Structure 1
Amino acid sequence: MNHATPELAAALSTMLDKIDATLRESGYQGEPIAMYLAGGLAVNYYCGTRFTTDVDASFSRRVALNYRDLVVDFKDAAGKDSQIYFDTSYSPTLGPMHEDYEDDAIEWTGIGNERRLVKVMVLAPVDIAVSKLGRFEGHDLEDILALAARSYFTLDQFRERAEVAASDFVGEVRRLRTTIEIVCRRIAELNPPPSSSSRPPG
């Protein structure tokens, strides 16, 4: 399931080391704090697609960090200079999100969670897709379809999850519901039902 670009995964691991160091320097000795990964980096984890530079994530506890230090320089697969940074504008409360998104997230194994005070949890594919309905700009539709094309969720699963999330969303929801219908049509086009001409004779 883990198809993350190795260079991105290594850069994220370095960022996690920085967060872990801050927690240890503060004297924190509690249970590991979960970091719920969303956005393009979560899509990269599942699909290996779309190179991204920003880390969209939230934490299971309120964490005081110097986010200006959470910038990691690295070289991509082509040897070009790149970097990732923690996106402080991301919040799971600013867009549609199913209430169970934390419970259904999966642990990113092999990235060093066992040695840190911060543990990376990747949102379930369907919750990543639902979270992208709010902004729905740039690569958002492409990311949703990339997940759907790899059968991480069905059309019915997406619609159900999206509609539950929309029901808890207050404010201007007409655009959100229109977006849900647009995405559902595009997912349906990935696996259209067989036409009558292609069906074997009865």
Structure 2
Amino acid sequence: MVEDIRFYIDTDLATGLVELVKKLGQHLDLKEPLKMIIAGGMATHLYTAGRVTMDVDAEFSKRFLIPPDFLVETAEGNVLFLDASYNSTFALMHEDYQQDAIRVPVDTDHIDVYVLGAVDLIVSKIARFSGPDRGDIENLISHRRVTAEEIERRATEALGGYVGNMSAVKLNLEEVLQIARDYNQVPDQKSE
């Protein structure tokens, strides 16, 4: 079942993202479609409009070099750039995250913009679980009404392919599950 998702695509950051994607398409002189899957803070922003970020964590269906000075300035003065160091292999990722990514309805030439599914985005933040990750997770749980059961199922399946400190990831997972349980016990808390 495909769920109708309202992305926040009219914000200053989302408008800047579209400009960045169009600029990238021109720079690469694309003749055929390229798939872009956004993670991190920008993905959280598209779901919640509550996150401000400057870097765009994304992976692409083809390889290319990102110029070091590749950025755009938004109307409100935010500067956005593609994070050339982003690598999804360091995160806790479900094996189906790419095929389960959701298309973002923006008009870009030759670059199809997708975002991690909300549960996959939460799961991707569990391994690191530092800085703004907790707030992102809380906002995603709130806006998308994600349950602890959904997170636990997807994260448990993802653990099979994770290479790293499993005990730390499992502790982080327990904390995230508690956040989801706490949120979901209080009806209509933080609703849109």
Q: How high is the TM-score relative to the length of structure 1? A: 0.84
Deviates more, 1:151-160 or 1:137-146: 151-160
Q: Give the aligned partner of residue 190 of structure 2.
A: none
Secondary structure of 2:90 counterpart: coil
Q: Give the aligned partner of residue 19 of structure 1.
A: 24
Please report how far the alpha carbon of residue 152 of structure 1 lies from its aligned counterpart in structure 2 after TM superposition: 4.2
Distance 2:44 2:94 in 1: 17
Q: Give the aligned partner of residue 31 of structure 2.
A: 29
Please report how far the alpha carbon of residue 123 of structure 1 lies from its aligned counterpart in structure 2 after TM superposition: 0.8
Q: Give the aligned partner of residue 49 of structure 2.
A: 48
Aligned residues: 182
8 Å CA contact retained: 2:118, 2:144:
no
8 Å CA contact retained: 1:4, 1:44:
no
CA offsets per residue over residues 101-151 of structure 1, 9 Å max, x none? 111111111x213xx121111110011101111211111011111111123
Segments of structure 1 that go 5 or more residues without pairing to the other structure are 195-202
Alpha carbons of structure 1 residues 183 and 21: separation in structure 2 relative to 1, 3 Å: same
Q: How does 1:177-196 map to 2 (within 5 A)?
A: 177-192=170-185
8 Å CA contact retained: 2:13, 2:78:
no
Amino acid at match of 1:29: K
Please report how far the alpha carbon of residue 166 of structure 1 lies from its aligned counterpart in structure 2 after TM superposition: 1.5
Deviates more, 1:3-12 or 1:156-165: 3-12
8 Å CA contact retained: 1:96, 1:169:
yes
8 Å CA contact retained: 1:37, 1:120:
yes
Residue identity over aligned pairs, in percent, reads 33
8 Å CA contact retained: 1:34, 1:121:
yes
Please report how far the alpha carbon of residue 37 of structure 1 lies from its aligned counterpart in structure 2 after TM superposition: 0.5
Distance 2:80 2:152 in 1: 32
Amino acid at match of 2:82: F
8 Å CA contact retained: 1:105, 1:122:
yes
Please report how far the alpha carbon of residue 14 of structure 1 lies from its aligned counterpart in structure 2 after TM superposition: 1.4
Distance 2:15 2:24 in 1: 14
8 Å CA contact retained: 1:4, 1:47:
no
Segments of structure 2 that go 5 or more residues without pairing to the other structure are 1-5, 188-192
Q: How high is the TM-score relative to the length of structure 2? A: 0.88
Distance 2:144 2:19 in 1: 31
Distance 2:131 2:9 in 1: 21
Work out which of the residue numbers 59, 80, 92 in structure 2 matches 1:84: 80
Q: How does 1:150-169 map to 2 (within 5 A)?
A: 150-169=143-162
Please report how far the alpha carbon of residue 5 of structure 1 lies from its aligned counterpart in structure 2 after TM superposition: 5.3
1:72 matched to 2:72? The reply is: yes
Alpha carbons of structure 1 residues 69 and 17: separation in structure 2 relative to 1, 3 Å: farther
Please report how far the alpha carbon of residue 170 of structure 1 lies from its aligned counterpart in structure 2 after TM superposition: 1.8
Q: Give the aligned partner of residue 62 of structure 2.
A: 61
Considering only aligned residues, what root-mean-square deviation do their CA atoms show, in Å? Answer: 1.7
1:112 matched to 2:107? The reply is: yes
Amino acid at match of 2:57: D
